[in-house]
Amino acid sequence: MSEYADRRARLLDSLRELESIAVAYSGGVDSAALLHAAHSVLGDKACGVIADSPSLPRRELREALELARTIGARVEVIATHELDDERYRANAGDRCYFCKSALFSAMEPWARAQGFRALAFGEITDDLSDIRPVAPLSAAGFSKEDVRRYAREAGLVVAEKPSSACLASRLPVGTRVSAERLGRIERAEEALKQLGLRQLRVRDLGESARVEVGRDELAFARERMGEIGLRLAAEGFARHELAAYLSVAERALR
């Protein structure tokens, strides 16, 4: 048995032992692979849970629901209310912590009421009352390439999907998060995606926007700078600049 096959077997065995599990599901490759694996061994005793709020683009929600349907897995959408938390809105550098806290606050009582024995949150291993939290992918030794390989072998359309992040990540640290700012970012990104751009971030810098695209799309975007400017102006951006998108790891090396 290859090393990957051994890790895959460990993943499926660990999920089978849980008997029932609620998977924090976003429609990205990691959570999609985990939901597929859980559904393959537990059937209806595995359920994806999507946390819905203004920070989740409507396109991402639609695509996540459609993907769950193709997997055949049950999925529930529950509302989270991180925008009610002043600490989240302040965006002081610890925003993600308060976002995860909102997810826990919404998902844990729902999972308990539904009778699930475990919650899967990717890398999160915080203690949650009487329901056991698990990180099945990392526990099985899965790397990012393992996850994408699993997704390819399972025929999941997200196998090569670029990494994503919530809309609030487009705001500089210290810029307050609001439903209005998130809505503007979502509309701007949707308008630019309609031009054919795939890997895309619109960084909201106030009156200006920093448009980041995949390196392989830079030439394509430069040819359309006029149209990009018009579509951004419709959302109140007076100026814009174009740059290559850098992953978190790439930014850390700069």
Mention every residue, 6+ apart, whose C-beta is less than 8 A from residue 59. 190, 193
Cα separation, 210 vs 194, in Å, equals 18
Strand, coil or helix: 208: strand
Cα separation, 130 vs 231, in Å, equals 49
CA 33 to chain centroid: 13
pLDDT of residue 124: 32
For residue range 62-100, list pLDDT tens digits in order. Answer: 999 999 999 999 999 999 999 999 999 999 989 988 888
Question: What is the mean pLDDT of the segment spanning 93-113?
Answer: 88
- Are 17 and 42 spatial neighbours (Cβ–Cβ below 8 Å)? no
For residue range 178-207, list pLDDT tens digits in order. Answer: 999 999 999 999 999 999 998 899 999 999
Sign for the CA dihedral angle at 49, 43, 110, 128 comes to negative
pLDDT of residue 135: 87
Answer yes or no: is pLDDT of 142 > 70.
yes
Helix (H) or strand (E) holding 51: strand 46-52
- The strand pair at 118-120 and 200-204 is best described as unpaired
Output the six-digit token pair for 178: 């609001």
Answer yes or no: is pLDDT of 254 > 80.
no
Q: Which of 119-123, 126-130, 158-162 has the highest mean pLDDT?
A: 158-162
- Are 47 and 114 spatial neighbours (Cβ–Cβ below 8 Å)? yes
Cα separation, 91 vs 167, in Å, equals 12
Strand, coil or helix: 218: helix
Answer yes or no: is pLDDT of 127 > 50.
no
Cα separation, 158 vs 173, in Å, equals 29
Answer yes or no: is pLDDT of 34 > 60.
yes
Domain residue spans in the chain?
A: 3-153, 178-253
CB neighbour class for 249 (10 Å; exposed up to 12, middle 13-18, buried from 19): exposed
Architecture of domain 3-153 in this structure = 3-Layer(aba) Sandwich (3.40)
- Are 55 and 185 spatial neighbours (Cβ–Cβ below 8 Å)? no
Strand, coil or helix: 32: helix
The CA-atom distances, in angstroms, between 128 and each of 14, 101, 106, 114, 183 are 19, 11, 12, 15, 32
Could you tell me the pTM of the whole model?
A: 0.86
Strand, coil or helix: 69: helix
Which of the pair, 63 or 122, is modelled with greater confidence? 63
Strand, coil or helix: 21: strand
Round the average pLDDT of the chain to a whole number and report it: 90
Nearest to 235 by CA among 188, 171, 176: 188
> Which fold would CATH assign to domain 178-253?
GMP Synthetase; Chain A, domain 3 (3.30.300)
The pLDDT > 70 percentage for the chain reads 92
Question: What is the mean pLDDT of the segment spanning 160-168?
Answer: 87
